[in-house]
Amino acid sequence: MRKIIAGNFKMNMATAAERKWYVSLFRREFKNKKFGEVDIILCPPSVCLEYFAGNIKNKKVFFGAQNVFMEREGAYTGEISALMVKESGGSCAIVGHSERRRLFSETNETANLKIKTILKNQMIPIYCFGESRSERDANLTKKVITEQIQKGLTGVSSIGVERVIFAYEPIWSVGTDVIPAANEIMEVKILVRKILTELYSSKAAQSVKILYGGSVNSRTVGRVCVDPAMDGALVGRESLNPREFLKIAEIIDKN
């Protein structure tokens, strides 16, 4: 089954020199690896999406934004639309990342509008969900995730849902080097498939890709992606180094 490894650069790669370094190292490392059934998605800051998409050309490598606004165009100062991302060479967009929820007041409702806009543009949403440390401690993981999935998908058709990539990102694991146990991740994967079966069908539930994200590196990837049989990973910090990022991709691909 095809695996997906997505890199979320966040607000990094600020200088032209860094971007140039990344592209040349990525191209070199990529050429040296023999990838099988794997798609790589790079999500740089939107201002340099076109640069990355224009300089890394491979049918296994796709590009995406870290966020989009829900409208097509108009008086929305500071925002970018899915169409703009598409016109810059992107085919995906991350939605509902915990940093957007925490710092920019994103909710399940805004994530839902964004997912629908992205699908309408024939693009792929990468929908992030996951519980906080306090929710986990209060035994609310299941409840929180169920709500995130249900609300995030309101009004999304059964054809649409099959194009959504789901990314389980426990907030307490993002950027912390603390990771859940494989069985905890597996439980969430089973929960998501159960919710999707109830909302749609078992066919839809089985066909969607569910990634894990949160402190993934070449040492943790076995435990958080391979052991719980995830469909891939959403990688933050380690995606900033093409050598490490492609090493993670290789481990996922080979297992």
Q: Does position 67 bind ligand PGA by CB under 6 A? A: no
Contact between 250 and ligand PGA per CB under 6 A: no
Q: Which stretch binds ligand PGA (CB under 6 A): 56-64, 187-195, 228-236, 243-251?
A: 228-236
Q: Which is nearer to ligand PGA, 61 or 221 (CB)?
A: 221
Sheet strands (E) in 21-60 = 38-43
Q: Does 237 bind ligand PGA (CB under 6 A)?
A: yes
Which region among 64-72, 158-166, 178-186, 233-241 touches ligand PGA (by CB under 6 A)? 233-241
x/- mask, ligand PGA, residues 162-201, rule CB under 6 A, reads: -------x----xx--------------------------
Is 8 or 148 the residue whose CB approaches ligand PGA more closely? 8
Residues in the chain: 255
Binding-site size, ligand PGA (CB under 6 A): 12
φ, ψ at 209 (rounded to 5°): -90, 135
Q: Read off φ and ψ for residue 97, nearest 5 degrees.
A: -60, 145
- Rule CB under 6 A: say whether 135 interacts with ligand PGA: no
Catalytic residues: 97, 169
With binding defined as CB under 6 A, does residue 236 bind ligand PGA? Answer: yes
> What CA–CA distance (Å, rounded) separates 110 from 223?
32
Per-residue burial over 220-237, b = 16 or more CB atoms within 10 Å of its CB, e = otherwise: bbebbbbebebbbbbbbb
Q: In 45-103, where do the E strands start and end?
A: 61-65, 92-95
| Of the residues 112, 215, 242, 245, which one makes contact with ligand PGA according to CB under 6 A | 215
- Nearest approach, Cβ of 71 to ligand PGA (angstroms)? 25
Nearer to ligand PGA, 48 or 234 (CB): 234
Q: Which H or E run includes 245?
A: helix 242-254
Which residues neighbour 141 within 8 Å (Cβ) at sequence distance 6 or greater? 131, 135, 188
- The 10-49 site mask, x for binding ligand PGA (CB under 6 A), equals ----------------------------------------
> What is the CA angle 44-230-240, rounded to 5?
25
Closest chain position to ligand PGA (CB):
236
Contact at 8 Å (CB) between 212 and 230? yes
Establish if 235 lies at the interface with ligand PGA (CB under 6 A). Answer: yes
Q: How far apart are CA 94 and CA 65, in angstroms?
A: 6
Please select the residue that binds ligand PGA; options are 64, 125, 160, 213, rule is CB under 6 A. 213
Neighbour-count burial of 137, counting CB atoms closer than 10 A to its CB (0-12 exposed, 13-18 middle, 19+ buried): exposed
What are the residues binding ligand PGA (CB under 6 A)?
8, 169, 174-175, 213-216, 234-237
